[in-house]
Structure 1
Amino acid sequence: MKKHQYETALEWTGNKGKGTVSYRSYNRNHSIHIKGKTHPIMGSSDPSFLGDPSRYNPEELFLSSIASCHMLWYLHLCAVNQITVTEYLDKATGVMSENENGSGSFIAVTLHPQVKVKDTTMITKATELHEEANKMCFIANSCNFKIGHAPKTTVH
């Protein structure tokens, strides 16, 4: 079995001078750096947890990780199966449930891929390949909930 290792560096940039003396004394801003990448990801918490709405939050990044991993496997499977995809757009949705103690977890994610293929003979197989992509996706395989799919396949 192959093993792949990943490394990121995260830096909290939200100290307003008093540190975490109280819940409102600091902001949630941080930057995520990945060696060899041009730009850091500017992050914060969700605005409902006092985050900066102009920055990416972990929940959005989690949802986008699921969607992009699915897309990459899907495109690979289409290429292997001689399905010519000309466009791919996904507007993924997710639901996180927050517990009384403030903890929480995602309980649902649904991908809504809108795929355009070269001709009508490819539509059925192109739609079926979403299920196979879900089985192959590294991120989906790491989740403890079922990921739903509502694909729409049309001809370019």
Structure 2
Amino acid sequence: MTPHYYDVHLGWQYARLGQLSSPALTDTIEVATPPEFAKGMPGVWSPEHLLVAAVSGCFMTTFLAIAENSKLDFSDFDCRATGKLEETENGLMISAVHLFPKVVVLHDSDIEKARRVLLKAERHCLITNSVRSQVTMEPTIVVAITEFD
């Protein structure tokens, strides 16, 4: 595989606020210091939020690709994620990201396949494999309720 490059531009606006853009994308994102830090701004995406979102988003897209290749029949997927910022011997860092994916399958017989696909997605997520944070997963798999007339 040839290397891929992802270009972004961050322009400082004022105080602790910047605007993130990419020539490949139409939308911009405001980025600021989180409110837990001095002069932080509430209600604005922080680098910490973006890191946790990158892990979660990569996990989802990896899951979707593997589910498609595995022919997993599911009706819904969502994933809550939590990042833990703490002081370490190397300074402040997001030391852990915990994923809480939920998959809704259509049949009881797909529960184990869904579990295998989730575990494979966890192992192969390229963002997870690119960060030093410990990434763990606590999946929930449920069977969709089918209504009959």
TM-score, normalized by length of structure 1?
0.85
Aligned to 1:29: 17
1:41-75 C-alpha deviation (Å, 9 max, x unpaired):
01111101222111100000000100010011111
- Select 1:114's aligned residue among 102, 116, 132: 102
Once the two structures are superposed, the pairs formed by residues 84-99 of structure 1 within 5 Å of their partners are 84-98=73-87
Aligned pairs (5 A) from 1:33-72? 33-49=21-37, 50-72=39-61
Percent identity between matched residues is 28
1:76 aligns with 2:80: no
Q: Which residue of 2 is the match for residue 124 of structure 1?
A: 112
Q: How far, CA to CA, are the matches of 1:33 and 1:149 in structure 2?
A: 30
**Alpha-carbon distance, 1:118 to partner:** 1.9
- The structure carrying a bigger strand percent of its residues is 2
How well do the aligned residues superpose, as a CA RMSD in angstroms?
1.7
Runs of 4+ in 1 over 6 A off after TM superposition: none
2:60 maps to a residue whose letter is M
TM normalised by structure 2 equals 0.89
Which structure 2 residue ranges, 5 or more long, are not aligned? 145-149
CA contact (8 A) 1:75 1:85 kept: no
SS at 2:36 equivalent: helix
Inter-partner Cα distance in structure 1 for 2:82 and 2:126: 19
- Equivalent residue letter for 1:8: V
Offset of 1:95 from its aligned partner?
A: 0.6
Q: Read off the aligned partner of 1:3 and give its amino acid letter.
A: P
Q: String of CA shifts for 1:59-106, please: whole Å, max 9, x gaps.
A: 0000010001001111111111111221111110111113599x4111
Give the deviation of 1:135 after TM superposition. Answer: 1.9
What secondary structure sits across from 1:91 in the alignment?
strand
Where in structure 1 are there 5+ consecutive unaligned residues?
15-26
CA distance in structure 1 between the partners assigned to 2:93 and 2:133 by the alignment: 10
Tell me which amino acid in the other structure corresponds to 2:11. Answer: E
Code of the aligned partner of 1:95: K
C-alpha distance 121-38 of structure 1, shift in aligned 2 (>3 A):
same
Count of residue correspondences? 143
Give the distance between the partners of 1:93 and 1:43, measured in 2 at CA.
18
